[in-house]
Amino acid sequence: MLLTTLLASALALTTQPLRPALSLIPKPVSVTQVSGAFVLDEKVTIGTDVASRPAAQLLSGWLKATTGRETKVGGRGSISLKVNPALTNLGSEGYQLEVSSKGVGLSAPKYAGIVNGLQTFRQLWPTGKAPQFTLPAVRIEDQPTFAWRGMMLDVSRYFMDKAYVLHFLDIMAAHKLNVLHLHLIDDAGWRVEIKKYPKLTQIGGFRGEGAAREGGFYTQADIKEMVAYATARNITIVPEIELPAHTLSAVCAYPWLACTGKQHTMPTVHFISDDLYCAGKSTTWAFLKDVFDELCALFPSQYIHIGGDEAQYSKWRACPDCQKKKAELGLADEKALQGWMTREVEGMLAKKGKRILGWNEILRCGVSTTAGIMAWNDAKAAGDAARGGNPVVVALTTRCYFDMQQSKLRGELPGAGWSNPVTLQNAYDWDPMPTNLDAAQQKNILGVQGCLWTDMFLHKPEIKKPSPAAYCDYYLLPRAAALAEVAWTPQAQRRFPDFTERMKRQYVRYTDSGWNFRLPLPELTH
């Protein structure tokens, strides 16, 4: 009897149709494939509650692109999207997705989860276009490891227009990345319209002369459009307003912002100015307050990035106003003066309900424990900051700087060059959680972020005009997929060979979407 049962079940196993490999990126926490299939044909409609409506619109756009058909949205449907606040076990961004022969049900405690689940659902579709297709029955329960799954795009050193930023948001959304950190200000360009200070963009938004003149900026209407586009895709845009260094574009527009008052010209090559915002003059403070007033009204993000990196203090040392301020406050040195400035800005922003975030340099300047720290070049910073109670985003050069080369292979496109290549495997095989943190300190690690700087590679001769922006896709992909999985999937469930296997299908999806990417041949043969 026992033997026959065993035999029967063995037979059932072997006769079961092979389940197709799903190749989901980032890998969900729990996937159960069951028998059956859902046929997505012309009878399909999208049911949605009010909260999920923007996601339903995204879905109908994808269906149009894939099947060529309009799909009815609203009320009940064979695909149903539903926010259910009772699903608290899924956290603030989790979701559950059930595909069966009867229909597709996607529910989540919040809108964020609906968007995340929708991206997973999209990856179940076959690649290419088809009027109708079959989806494997599956049950997925999923939620991210980290709340901050970011990408930084440096639009200051090289201006990328609104259309490129929207395209970048699409790429991020497909990977469930949820924070776009926009590096809006640097020595080489001021990219956001501030109505009270029009020269910031008129002068600080452009560089070079005659035919070599280049640049641009986002109007406040552009920013609103970008923010709305991002919000529908569960992405928060965090603006970065660098201070006190990396601000030559502002100083060119309004020379009184710096200690020297000297009129500079906009830099046309990679350059870090030592003419900082003057910490001692009250005019600097009035300016910062005005800028943040306009900026905070544009960006709903809780965090505002205030830069803080690579300040050289020679001009502060020679400035009577800065020295007076330092003495008045009884500060030991210029680093402490930067710390004071950072705390002042934090106070100013706190009044508007905002929090600050800065590059890891601010940690050694004497910041409060409420300031967020973005760890980039100081390997110890993330752990130290988390132990001190500060929120932390890990964006280490060796893992997250996607302006570095992707390999040392001959023929590889150039990178920023000042640090080792960041291969796909480097970007994948690491745990952003610093060691030796207790459970409470671990909670201070908000997450992880990739950085696409544009000052040190986009001008190189190998990067052919007219479309440097397309090279940003190439430097981003596929490393953003590795980042997404580092940020989303539990550490214990991640293996590089399994990832590269699933990526094979992802490359076809990239091609379908028209995204430029690097095919990592050496990694595929690992």
Closest CB to ligand TNX among 90 and 392? 392
Residues touching ligand TNX: how many (CB under 6 A)? 10
Question: 310 catalytic, yes or no?
Answer: yes
The least distance separating ligand TNX from the CB of residue 246, rounded to whole angstroms, comes to: 6
Closest CB to ligand TNX among 236 and 273? 273
Strand partners, 239: 182
Q: Which of 508, 509, 517 is nearest to 480 (CA)?
A: 517
The answer to whether residue 517 forms part of the interface with ligand TNX (CB under 6 A) is no
For 489, residues 6+ apart whose C-beta sits below 8 A from its C-beta are 26, 27, 28, 29, 145
Task: Among 121, 146, 376, 507, indicate the residue that binds ligand TNX (CB under 6 A).
Answer: 376
The least distance separating ligand TNX from the CB of residue 456, rounded to whole angstroms, comes to: 5
Q: From start to end of 67-159, where are the E strands?
A: 79-83, 95-100, 103-108, 133-142, 148-154
The least distance separating ligand TNX from the CB of residue 42, rounded to whole angstroms, comes to: 50
CB atoms within 10 A of CB 209: 10
Pick out residues in 401-440 that bind ligand TNX (CB under 6 A): 401, 403, 416
For residue 26, whether the previous peptide bond is cis, meaning omega lies within 30 degrees of 0, is: yes
The answer to whether residue 357 forms part of the interface with ligand TNX (CB under 6 A) is no
Closest CB to ligand TNX among 181 and 354? 181
Strand partners, 149: 448
The least distance separating ligand TNX from the CB of residue 191, rounded to whole angstroms, comes to: 15
The answer to whether residue 159 forms part of the interface with ligand TNX (CB under 6 A) is no
Separation CA 96–CA 113 (nearest Å): 8
For residues 46 and 59, is the Cβ–Cβ distance under 8 A?
yes
Closest CB to ligand TNX among 257 and 357? 357
Three-class SS state of 256: helix
| HSE-CB of 308 using CA atoms within 13 angstroms | 32
The least distance separating ligand TNX from the CB of residue 518, rounded to whole angstroms, comes to: 18
The answer to whether residue 187 forms part of the interface with ligand TNX (CB under 6 A) is no
Q: What is the dihedral of CA 338, 339, 344, 348, to 10 degrees?
A: 100
Max Cα–Cα distance, the chain, nearest Å: 96
Pick out residues in 439-458 that bind ligand TNX (CB under 6 A): 453, 455-456
The answer to whether residue 242 forms part of the interface with ligand TNX (CB under 6 A) is no
The answer to whether residue 309 forms part of the interface with ligand TNX (CB under 6 A) is yes
Three-class SS state of 236: strand
Q: Are strands 79-83 and 214-215 parallel, antiparallel or unpaired?
A: unpaired
The answer to whether residue 359 forms part of the interface with ligand TNX (CB under 6 A) is yes
The answer to whether residue 473 forms part of the interface with ligand TNX (CB under 6 A) is no
Q: Which of 412, 420, 396, 416 is nearest to 518 (CA)?
A: 412
Interaction mask 259-298, ligand TNX, x per CB under 6 A: ----------------------------------------
Closest CB to ligand TNX among 112 and 469? 469
Closest CB to ligand TNX among 97 and 374? 374
Catalytic pick among 209, 310, 412, 462? 310
Separation CA 406–CA 420 (nearest Å): 9
Closest CB to ligand TNX among 24 and 188? 188
Q: From start to end of 352-425, where are the E strands?
A: 355-359, 372-375, 392-394
Contacts with ligand TNX by CB under 6 A lie at 309-310, 359, 376, 401, 403, 416, 453, 455-456
Residues involved in catalysis? 310
